[in-house]
């Protein structure tokens, strides 16, 4: 995949709430780039700077993405099988017990 310089993109999606990025957003908008910011405003305190949220063409709260991206917790993790102390020893699902362990 080849990186395209900013003058060749139509839309930028920024996953951040850092107000220091407002000048970047403003610069990209002056170049005709539509900017979407994804962060959280519904938490207390919110994690997006108000000036960054107002500068964006589109603001999406992370909580609004949850129904589209979250997995049902009852399904468990299909890739990992935990063994021993959670987070210390695990193996890839489907490997037999003689496979390499990862710490």
Each residue's pLDDT tens digit, 34-46: 999 999 888 778 7
CA–CA separation, 33 vs 39, rounded Å?
A: 19
Q: Does residue 97 lie in a domain region?
A: no
Report whether pLDDT(2) > 60.
yes
Residue 46 has what pLDDT? 79
Q: Does residue 50 lie in a domain region?
A: yes
CATH at 38: 3.40.50.1000
Q: Does residue 62 lie in a domain region?
A: yes
∠ Cα 57 59 61 (to 5°): 175
Torsion region of 94: left, alpha or beta (phi above 0 gives left; psi -120 to 50 gives alpha): left
Q: Does residue 86 lie in a domain region?
A: no
Q: Does residue 89 lie in a domain region?
A: no
Q: 13 CB contacts (<8 Å, ≥6 apart)?
A: 35, 36, 38
The answer to whether 31 and 7 have CB atoms below 8 angstroms apart is yes
Report whether pLDDT(79) > 70.
no
Q: Does residue 60 lie in a domain region?
A: yes
pTM of the model: 0.59
- Regarding predicted confidence, which is higher, 47 or 50? 50
Structurally, how many domains does the chain consist of? Answer: 1
Residue 70 has what pLDDT? 63
């Amino acid at each position: 995949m080849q990186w395209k310089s900013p003058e060749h993109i139509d839309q930028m999606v920024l996953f951040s709430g850092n107000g220091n990025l407002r000048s970047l957003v403003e610069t990209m908008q002056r170049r005709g780039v539509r900017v979407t910011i994804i962060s959280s405003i519904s938490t207390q305190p919110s994690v997006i700077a108000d000036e960054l949220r107002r500068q964006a063409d589109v603001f999406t709260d992370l909580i609004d993405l949850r129904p589209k991206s979250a997995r049902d917790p009852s399904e468990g993790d299909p890739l990992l099988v935990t063994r021993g102390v959670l987070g210390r020893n695990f193996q890839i699902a489907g490997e037999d017990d003689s496979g390499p362990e990862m710490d």
